[in-house]
Amino acid sequence: MARREITWVGIGWRFLAALVLVFCTYNPEGYSFVHWAADTAQGPLSLKIFVGILLIIGWTIFIRATLGSLGGFGMLLVVALFASMLWLLREWGVIPRGSFDTVAYMVLFVISALLAVGMTWSHIRRRLSGQFDIDDVED
């Protein structure tokens, strides 16, 4: 049985994939699927439906993996951790107050981080505790 070790590069790739998924779906700059799909003058409906289905598949993969590895309470804890970190950065003046775009980017970043943690948590837990998830056991 080949051992699948988690590395910082692997975590980085998962985070990058989550960022791409989240920011392709929506971003405050106006260059996202949400903006494109809402504009009836741009692109054929069939292409919008095709791209929408691809995004739904990506979200399904990430959300199922995140729910499977973290569970609902674990997801709540990760969101609380990142939200408190953002709050702390705002209190320290690192994040400017009153900017919708900045807040939107921070929320999108937190969603991406949550999905990346969800995609890697089973590997991290296995390294720390030696416990396997049911899905991790191979014949």
| Res 94 pLDDT > 80 | yes
User: Cβ distance 18 to 116 under 8 Å?
Assistant: yes
For the chain, the average pLDDT equals: 85
Nearest to 74 by CA among 121, 6, 17: 121
Whether residue 115 is predicted with pLDDT greater than 90 in this model: the reply is yes
Q: Determine the average pLDDT of the residues in 110-120.
A: 90
Q: Which tokens sit at 15?
A: 């985070």
Q: Is residue 15 within 8 Å of residue 108, measured between CB atoms?
A: no
Q: What is the mean pLDDT of residues 5-21?
A: 90
CA distance linking residue 18 with residue 12, whole number of Å = 10
Looking up tokens 């051992």, which residue turns up? Answer: 3
Q: Could you tell me what percent of the chain has a pLDDT over 90? A: 45
